[in-house]
Chains A and B, each alone.
Chain A
Amino acid sequence: MLCDNCKQKEANVHITKIVNHEKTSINLCEDCAREYQEQIGFAQPTFSFHKFLAGLLEQPTMMPGKPGISTEGTKCPKCGTTRQIFSQCGKLGCDQCFDTFAAGLSPLIKRVHGRERHTGKVPKRSGQDIMLKKRLENLKRKLQELVIKEEFEEAAKVRDQIRELERGNC
């Protein structure tokens, strides 16, 4: 097998890349592999990571199905961070920024992490509202299904559960 890069020497280094559970392999000769490693294996001191990140956000943020949506010119109502500021320093300003710049951030997050949804730990107190919201959503969906199926007895039980949860919320 010839090296994928120079296509001249024999490839004897095989690198398997896994992104989003998809495997792709790269086959390189020793020389190209060394160069490849030097490029990405170690952070270079002169390399500004935040600028690099911000550059990713500069890419067109048009998303399929949502033509024309751009976060250009948006300003976070809470901390005043603008898209221009983010482009310069690569940092978000506050928790609200994640909603303000949601559309632009999505592709960036996907590029960095390969995924968009958190699946790990949820803080017990700050996460309480979120867990409650999720449970309510689920129950409301269930209620609708039961009503459609005309299972009113079950539906009444679910409705009571929803009321109880909502009361606890206040």
Chain B
Amino acid sequence: MAKHELAKRASKWMEGTGPQSDIVLTSRIRLARNLKSIPFPHLLNDEGQKEVIDKVVQAVNTTTVTGTFGKMDMLLLEYLSPLEKQILVEKHLISPAFAEKKKGGVALNADETVSIMVNEEDHLRVQLLMPAFQLEETWKAADILDDALEQTVDYAFHEERGYLTACPTNLGTGLRASVMVHLPALVLTKQAKKILGSLPQLGLAVRGFYGEGSEAQGNLYQISNQITLGLTEEEIINNITLVVQQLIDQERSARNRLKEELYHQIDDKVNRAYGILANARIISSEEALKLLSDLRLGIDLGMIKDVDPQILNEMISFIQPGLLQGSQGKTMNAGERDLTRAKVIRTKLAQQRR
């Protein structure tokens, strides 16, 4: 893959179509895996790290893997520019911590549904990222990929502790399932904090759009399981699916209530957002994200009719600093980015109206 494509092509998840895509943006599965008898990445020298990458390259190039998931490219961190790494983070294909590393690699397939980080905290972090609410299907795909990789590499596995990981929090299944939800109505009706605040008690973690420590910009939240050991993969998927379905139902009823009780206020709010996005000349990513969330609510409630709902999925990434610069093919300072961001959004909205 030519590197410049990274910034131009959209990931599959940005298509934003699938079950309950009006509320759920993405479903993600991540499996932590290590290779038998090889020290974990933080103890490996350059040579040792390269050995692990070579093994993974071999594993992803088998027909069992490529037959199902397509050709995989291994991008080595040492050959990626800071901008390219940033783009991978913004597309949710690598973790921010991984982007800081000098060595390591990430294997990607063409539609970017599969990304395998090599030598992050563990030898392998296998990720499947799909649009909408399809956690079970995503897990099934991850399971198939995991089996296919295991035909080539030997995993570190312990009878009692399960899949062995550098950090004890990932032991057992090594499975982290997460769902990204858009909850504008629960936030507007001031129920979000209360409802989301109860999730840790159910063994689930709540984070903002860009993971740990990030704020919940644009009313977007990531819900994921905390416990990885002592439950089967199916139990983990089931638990989170049930809870997220509850959240979806709550968000739906809040949306209905808003529409019935505060129609004009909401209609005004979302159309103002539309107006600003369609006309602004300078816009920060925070403001854009907030307004895109309002716009999307307006589309979902039928108050705005001539804009595609997927605009949120696509734009939330493409307005980020890295992708914005990458897609324009030049580096820009913050002021230039705010100008360009406003233009990109204006152009997109104008195209859709035609």
A119:B161 contact, CB within 8 angstroms: no
* Residue with the highest number of chain B CB atoms closer than 10 Å, among A16, A78, A94: A94
Query: Which of A89, A93, A125 meets B39, CB within 8 Å?
Result: A93
Inter-chain contacts of A40 with B (CB < 8 A): 200
Q: CB-nearest residue of chain B relative to A17? A: B201
Q: Please, which residue of chain A has its CB at the minimum distance from the CB of B167?
A: A91
Given contacts A33-B197, A95-B156, contact A89 B207 (CB under 8 A): no
Residue of B nearest to A115 (CB): B230
Given A91-B167, A120-B172, A125-B151, A113-B229 contact (CB < 8 Å): yes
Residues on the A chain within 8 Å of B165, using CB = 92
Q: Is the CB of A91 within 8 A of B230?
A: no
Listed by A's residue number, 7 A-B pairs whose Cβ atoms lie within 8 Å are A26-B201, A53-B167, A109-B171, A115-B229, A118-B172, A119-B230, A122-B157
Instruction: Give the chain B neighbours of A114 by CB distance below 8 A.
Output: 227, 230
- Residues A119 and B196 in contact, CB atoms below 8 Å apart: no
Of residues 215 to 230 in B, which have CB atoms within 8 Å of A's CB atoms? 227-230
What is the distance, in angstroms, from A23's C-beta to the closest C-beta of chain B?
Answer: 10
Asked if residues A118 and B230 are in contact (CB atoms below 8 Å), the reply is: yes
Q: Are B233 and A120 touching (Cβ within 8 A)?
A: yes
Interface residue total, chain B, C-beta cutoff 8 A? 57
- What range describes how many residues of A lie at the interface? 35 or more
A37 touches B196 (CB 8 A): yes
List the A residue with the shortest CB-CB distance to B227. Answer: A113
Q: Name the one of A53, A89, A95, A125 contacting B164, with C-beta atoms under 8 angstroms.
A: A95
Kindly supply a per-residue 1/0 record for chain A positions 81-122, scoring 1 wherever the CB is within 8 Å of any chain B CB and 0 otherwise.
100000001111111001000000100110011111111111
Chain A residues contacting B169 (CB-CB under 8 Å) are 49, 53, 112
Q: Which residues of chain A (58-98) have a CB below 8 Å from chain B?
A: 78-81, 89-95, 98
- A37-B196, A98-B158 known; A124-B150 Cβ under 8 A: yes
Residues of B within 8 A of A36 (CB): 197
B34 and A95: CB pair below 8 A? yes
Whether B329 sits at the interface, judged by CB under 8 Å, is: no
Whether A18 and B230, one on each chain, are in contact in the complex, defined by CB atoms closer than 8 angstroms, is no
Residue in A13, A16, A30, A42 whose Cβ sees the most chain B Cβ within 10 Å:
A42
Closest 8 pairs (CB-CB, A-B): A115-B230, A37-B197, A118-B162, A45-B213, A95-B156, A113-B229, A120-B173, A91-B166
Distance in angstroms between the alpha carbons of A17 and B204 in the assembled complex: 11
A168 contacts the other chain (CB 8 A)? no
Which residue in B157, B163, B173, B213 is a CB contact (below 8 Å) of A130? B157
Q: Are B201 and A18 in contact (CB under 8 A)?
A: yes
Given the interface pairs A42-B206, A125-B151, the reply to whether A34 lies near B43 with Cβ below 8 Å is: no
Known contacts: A91-B167, A120-B162. The answer to whether A43 contacts B212 by CB under 8 A is: yes
Inter-chain contacts of B40 with A (CB < 8 A): 79, 91-94
Q: Does A44 contact B (CB under 8 A)?
A: yes
Residues B42 and A89 in contact, CB atoms below 8 Å apart: yes
A116 to B232, CA, bound (A): 13
CB <8 Å contact, B194 and A121 = no
Across the interface, do B168 and A116 meet the contact criterion of CB distance under 8 Å?
A: no
Among A18, A41, A89, A90, which residue has its beta carbon within 8 angstroms of that of B199? A41
Q: Interface digits, A44-59 against B, CB 8 Å rule (1 contact, 0 not)?
A: 1100011001000000
CA distance A37 to B216 in the complex (A): 14
- A residues less than 8 Å from B201 (CB atoms): 15-18, 26
| A41 and B196 contacting across the interface, CB-CB below 8 Å | yes
Are the C-beta atoms of A53 and B157 separated by less than 8 Å? no
Interface flags, A126-156, vs B, CB<8A=1, else 0: 1100100110000000000000000000000
B160 at interface (Cβ–Cβ under 8 A)?
yes
The CA of A118 and the CA of B159, in the complex, are separated in Å by 7
Residues of A within 8 A of B185 (CB): none
Tell me if A120 and B232 are in contact (CB < 8 A). Answer: yes
A30 to B165, CA, bound (A): 39
Cβ–Cβ contact B161 & A109, under 8 A: yes
A118 touches B197 (CB 8 A): no
Residue in chain A with minimal CB distance to B157? A126
Q: From residue A122, how far is it (CB to closest CB) to chain B in Å?
A: 7
Of chain A, the residue at the smallest CB distance from B42 is: A91
Kindly state whether residue B154 has any CB partner on chain A within 8 Å: yes
Contact of B121 among A17, A91, A94, A120 (CB under 8 A): A91
CA of A50 to CA of B168, assembled, Å: 10
Chain B residues contacting A92 (CB-CB under 8 Å) are 40, 164-168
Known A94-B40, A123-B155; contact A118-B34, beta-carbon cutoff 8 A: no
